[in-house]
Amino acid sequence: MLSLAFPAIDPIAIAIGPIAIRWYALAYIAGLTIGWRYTLAYINKQPYVMTRNQVDDLLFWATLGVILGGRTGYVLFYNLDFYLANPSHILKVWEGGMSFHGGMLGVIIAVFCFARLRGISFLGVVDAVAAAAPIGLFFGRIANFINGELFGRTTDVPWGMVFPRGGPEPRHPSQLYEAGLEGIALFCILFALSRSEKMRSHPGVVGGTFLAGYGICRIIVEFFRQPDQQLGYLMFGATMGQLLSIPMVLVGAGVAIYGLNRPALVGTKPADDTKTKTAKS
């Protein structure tokens, strides 16, 4: 059976004595940092949503939401029995185990608290964060590929790969499929939307499109991705990733439609970070 050689890249990017920095950690740093810079560029065209200083503060909130939500989601959705039996392992994030769906919920909660404390539009901030989210997804999936984890199902396609932990059979490089769909393709769609002044002025359109778009991409890729060993296939032969993505599609579509039917958010936000009477959504 034809297959491509898996590029054996050391998961550790930099090692100085006992200190080791992994590509996975660098992916998180790159996603958050580049996403922050992209969000700054995004609000240049929408200064009435939040100020540049508020975007800087938002980076901390988003990071907290990603880490706490991602870990909590993995514990609850993917390996609850193990962590109930071994609660001390919940804090061992260096052993792996992060859930996108949990991280997404964590960021939404963090953004909601942030927007309420600052007195700014919740959906407006969601749009700004969502526009940048595919950047982090792209780097994260590339890191999954480097780690040789979250690989696909067995296949006979010419680009199938034999993963170190996937047995002798060639498998779909599903991490690269996700990087292409959830990262590159979804970023391009949201970029096109955010370039439209009409779409930007209706809070919820970009964020809702991200939720629905990610859900659709994830459902498609799950047909090629190997289900988690401890879970396997669930109801109707679906995977956990697909079941968690279905509500995302429905909620995302609803939020986008809601945003389109709401009055446009217009105005000019003052340069300081004091609470204003800017219209909220």
What local confidence, expressed as pLDDT, does residue 91 receive? 82
What local confidence, expressed as pLDDT, does residue 114 receive? 95
What local confidence, expressed as pLDDT, does residue 266 receive? 65
Where helices occur in 45-121 by DSSP H, the ranges are: 52-77, 80-85, 100-118
CA 81 vs CA 141, 200, 201: distances in Å:
26, 43, 45
Q: Which two tokens stand for residue 100?
A: 């996108």
What local confidence, expressed as pLDDT, does residue 18 receive? 84
Binding-site sequence positions? 141
What is the DSSP secondary structure assignment for residue 51, as one 8-state letter?
-
- The residue behind tokens 């396609």 is 157
The tens-digit pLDDT sequence of the chain (281 residues) is 567 888 888 888 888 888 888 888 899 899 999 999 999 999 888 777 888 899 999 999 999 999 999 899 889 888 888 888 888 888 877 666 788 889 999 999 999 999 999 999 899 999 999 999 999 999 999 999 999 989 999 999 999 999 988 888 999 999 999 999 999 999 999 999 998 888 888 999 999 999 999 999 999 999 999 998 888 889 888 999 999 999 999 999 999 999 999 887 765 454 445 444 444 44
What local confidence, expressed as pLDDT, does residue 196 receive? 87
Phi, psi at residue 61, to the nearest 5°?
Answer: -60, -45
Question: In the Cβ-directed half-sphere of 231, how many Cα atoms lie within 13 Å?
Answer: 20
Amino acid found at 109: I
